[in-house]
Structure 1
Amino acid sequence: MTLIEINFDGIVGPSHNYAGLSLGNLAATGNAGSPSHPRAAALQGLAKMRANMVLGLPQGLFLPHRRPDEAWLARLATRARDADPLLLANALSASPMWAANAATVSPAPDTADGRCHLTVANLMTMAHRSHEWPETLAQLRLAFADARHFAVHPPVPAPFGDEGAANHMRLAPGHGAPGVEIFVYGLSGGPFPARQHLQASRAVARRHTLDPARTLFAAQSEEVIAAGAFHNDVVAVANGTVLFTHERAFADREGLYADLRRLLPEVDIVEVPADRVSLADAIRSYVFNAQLVTLPGGEAALILPTEARDTPAVWSWLQEMVAGNGPIRRLELVDVRESMANGGGPACLRLRVVADPATVDSRFLLDEAKLARIEDIVAHHWPETITPEMLPDPALWRSIETARAALLHALDLAELA
């Protein structure tokens, strides 16, 4: 069995809108009330998937959830037609598109039972995300149903907040080799909540039967949370033996670096100095919310939002980096501006799973023909524009439901209807 990394991207849902629900996510709150463009957003995400496939990277997908979430509203003793505007906005959020928050994943080489473990994130800190996990869990249990190779776990219980792979990194000599897993948690975020709790991270590590000697827990610095880095993947990303990070990402950077060098002597830490790229520029450009990938030829590449190129200090530093002798040799730019405006870059849109593709339900794996079918459905069914005034309109809700139904039918995923 050959283990490879598969990126599962969330398809941007037809209810994509800018309600500004995510406290601490500066892009999301800064764009609150602006018109959104769900069709363009979904097509941008699909174009990113195609670009990854052209690079030779295996690509999977996750599906939009039911919106408005009438089941969640029913538990609050209301219905979409009766809900107050804020509650309705929470029920209409398309936030499941950010698959990095779907689950935490530990590949088979790291676990005691030799299976890939996935724990669905509870996302309890934010109301609009707290009701995602049941539908996410249903998709994970379909996609990774082979119990010989996967163990899919329900969420860590309240009150311990868990936001998934966005606060988890893995370093290893190869995807199929035993690695070092790093759980990044928050203690305080100044004016903003620290969303990943240490006890949640420890619970996930125990569930995944990880070797305590090769499992690290690192505190995110309060400074970066207060600056708008609501998840670790806004200021750091890891792949293979490379950690790409901002100088201010961690509360005890020297301690973390020392532990990594002890456990993985070949680790290559690429640290961006704060005096070259400020936290404000790092967060504005989402340079660290890039996909750090290993191309088929073994070359490390960064898949970056175009905002990285548009931020002079960031682009200057990146150009110097790839011109040098460091481990990251290639920069690839993608346009995901609709997602970026709601606070999610290329890395937010994907969940990495190390697995043999033959063990995954093929309905969740992409090829060019399937991607073209999805693009056609999006072009015909996704709303072109959603404004805040449209959110209470039942006609919008019906169009969202029709769009999702068409996608599920095309992908033969009636179980999720």
Structure 2
Amino acid sequence: MKQVEVNFDGLVGPTHNYAGLSFGNVASLSNAKAFSSPKQAAKQGLQKMKALHDMGMTQGVLAPQARPDIDMLRRLGFTGSDTNVLEQASKRAPEVFRACCSASSMWTANAATVSPSADTSDGKVHFTPANLTNKFHRSLEPAVTGRILQATFANEKYFQHHTHLPDNEHFGDEGAANHTRLCSDYGHAGVEMFVYGRHAFDASKPAPKKFPARQTLEACQAVARLHGLNDETTVYVQQNPDVIDQGVFHNDVISVGNQNVLFYHQQAFHDTQNALDEIQRKFGEQKLHFIRVDTDAVSVQEAIKTYLFNTQIITLPDGHMAIIAPTECQESPAVSAYLDELVTLDTPIKKVHYFDVKQSMRNGGGPACLRLRVAMTGQELEAVNQHTLMSDAVFTRLNQWVDKHYRDQLNVDDLRDAALLNESRTALDELTQILHLGSVYPFQR
């Protein structure tokens, strides 16, 4: 059955800030506490969404989280009015306070793992929100993420929603950032490739020594079971522990796939050849393009700095593929030279489009971090909340909404201001009406 892949990008929230919360994420740590521009960040994200829409892609929007997370601060013992809670938390526990103000929900590649109906045993599209247990600031997201996904994909005939995995490091799940689907066509059953960093129940297996491995094999296996995936079309691949220790915190920083292309760095995986052999065997006889970038051409550090692999590979309406890359790739002599050559080779990738997403890049996420991929049939797409799909009118409306509610500049110290909290709530309440989401935020319930 004919399917289309839709990219649902996370809309950057009105309290977008650089708190430097993510140990293991080089870009996040290096820009800690710098001034941010929520308005610029939101507009950069919207511009990328609109550009893909104009290329003929179907593009969606996912709402951000509400921050600061006042409910969590109250749960942690801060009392009184919202103003009192903000004041107490920012003074008495500043690290906890900054975590409860995180802007990280903009990276919807971490929102959930999605399996299309062509792969699942019941023929529905399955969603499992990521629990993100490795980082406290991200572990605040799953419940609201689940409600946003349910409001976006509400029709039970076509969509199946699961509760996130147990909130425990043994089942640490980072969502689609560690999940790639390979297929000959979006409508045919594909090979779902889960990438993990460690075995939770077997400490004798290889694991990184410096930075944490956020995704466990056991979490991958649990999601595959929940989604009713076939063992014959599911592959579990271990990420190279050495590259995790070099700052590759998710697989989508070192590898990305689309349809019959797997684009990966030479150092991406542990036991690479066996992994590729299994993928090819389960993929079948049709052509599968393994595009390997050697360390001599692009170092791991250059790949991290430019997010060469945190790009999107999309299939355009004419059947050719294009890479959606941050301008940092264009500015790097090594990476731009590699991409210039790549489009001349015998692979489906024929174009590279560069986008300025610097507000996201400085916080540790590139174009691929900003989107959640959902392959759907025409009927399933019609069953999606249509108000969340990009159009000229939606683009104009959301830009007007950003202009109305967002600040041009934000300092981490601004987050303790109750006025900012009220501005954010007013903005998000209006957003849920624009996108027809209902009451997804705690302050609305």
Fold equivalence (TM over 0.5): yes
Q: Distance in 2 between matches of 1:335 and 1:207?
A: 37
- Equivalent position amino acid for 1:179 in 2: G
Matched, 1:16 2:16: yes
Of the three residues 215, 218, 236, the one matched with 1:196 is 215
Q: Residues 113-146 of structure 1: CA distance to partner in whole angstroms, max 9, x if unpaired? A: 1111110100111011001011100011111121
Partner of 2:149: 140
Of the three residues 372, 388, 392, the one matched with 2:396 is 372
- Equivalent position amino acid for 1:205 in 2: A
- Map 1:79-98 → 2, pairs under 5 A: 79-83=85-89, 84-98=93-107
Q: Secondary structure at the match of 2:264?
A: strand
Partner of 1:116: 125
CA contact (8 A) 2:50 2:390 kept: no
Q: Distance in 2 between matches of 1:67 and 1:33?
A: 16
Q: Distance in 2 between matches of 1:403 and 1:383?
A: 11
Q: CA RMSD in A?
A: 1.2
Bigger shift: 70-79 or 333-342?
Answer: 70-79
- Equivalent position amino acid for 2:282 in 1: L
CA contact (8 A) 1:85 1:392 kept: no
Q: Distance in 1 between matches of 2:256 and 2:338?
A: 17
CA contact (8 A) 2:86 2:417 kept: no
Q: Residues 321-363 of structure 1: CA distance to partner in whole angstroms, max 9, x if unpaired? A: 1122222111011110000000000000000001131021112
Deviation of the 1:189 alpha carbon: 2.9
Deviation of the 1:367 alpha carbon: 1.1
Partner of 2:301: 280
Matched, 1:247 2:247: no
- Equivalent position amino acid for 2:87 in 1: R
Bigger shift: 375-384 or 19-28?
Answer: 375-384
Deviation of the 1:244 alpha carbon: 0.5
Of the three residues 192, 204, 208, the one matched with 1:181 is 192
Partner of 2:82: none
Deviation of the 1:391 alpha carbon: 2.1
- Equivalent position amino acid for 1:408 in 2: T
- Equivalent position amino acid for 1:395 in 2: A
Q: Distance in 2 between matches of 1:111 and 1:127?
A: 32
Deviation of the 1:228 alpha carbon: 1.1
- Equivalent position amino acid for 1:120 in 2: P
Partner of 1:150: 159
- Equivalent position amino acid for 2:36 in 1: S
- Equivalent position amino acid for 1:147 in 2: E
Deviation of the 1:225 alpha carbon: 0.8
Bigger shift: 192-201 or 86-95?
Answer: 86-95
Q: Distance in 2 between matches of 1:359 and 1:383?
A: 35
Deviation of the 1:407 alpha carbon: 2.2
Partner of 2:204: none
Partner of 2:425: 401
Partner of 1:347: 368
- Map 1:6-405 → 2, pairs under 5 A: 6-78=6-78, 79-83=85-89, 84-159=93-168, 160-187=171-198, 188-264=207-283, 265=285, 266-355=287-376, 356-405=380-429
CA contact (8 A) 1:125 1:195 kept: yes
Q: Distance in 2 between matches of 1:192 and 1:203?
A: 24
TM-score of the superposition, structure 1-length normalised? Answer: 0.98
Q: Distance in 2 between matches of 1:15 and 1:254?
A: 44
Deviation of the 1:395 alpha carbon: 2.1
Gaps of 5+ in 2: 79-84, 199-206
Deviation of the 1:276 alpha carbon: 0.6
- Equivalent position amino acid for 2:45 in 1: G
Q: Residues 267-295 of structure 1: CA distance to partner in whole angstroms, max 9, x if unpaired? A: 11011011110000000000100111110
Q: Distance in 2 between matches of 1:258 and 1:12?
A: 39
**Corresponding residue pairs, total:** 417
Q: Residues 357-376 of structure 1: CA distance to partner in whole angstroms, max 9, x if unpaired? A: 10211122121101110011
Q: Secondary structure at the match of 1:415?
A: coil
Deviation of the 1:50 alpha carbon: 0.6
TM-score of the superposition, structure 2-length normalised? Answer: 0.92
Q: Distance in 1 between matches of 2:23 and 2:389?
A: 33
Q: Distance in 1 between matches of 2:25 and 2:346?
A: 34
Deviation of the 1:408 alpha carbon: 2.4
Q: Secondary structure at the match of 1:302?
A: strand
CA separation of 1:411/1:115 partners in 2, compared to 1, >3 Å: closer, same or farther? closer
Q: Residues 127-185 of structure 1: CA distance to partner in whole angstroms, max 9, x if unpaired? A: 11001011100011111121211111011103211010000001001001000000000
Deviation of the 1:414 alpha carbon: 3.6
Deviation of the 1:67 alpha carbon: 1.4
Gaps of 5+ in 1: none
Deviation of the 1:382 alpha carbon: 0.7
Q: Distance in 2 between matches of 1:389 and 1:115?
A: 45
Q: Distance in 2 between matches of 1:230 and 1:126?
A: 12
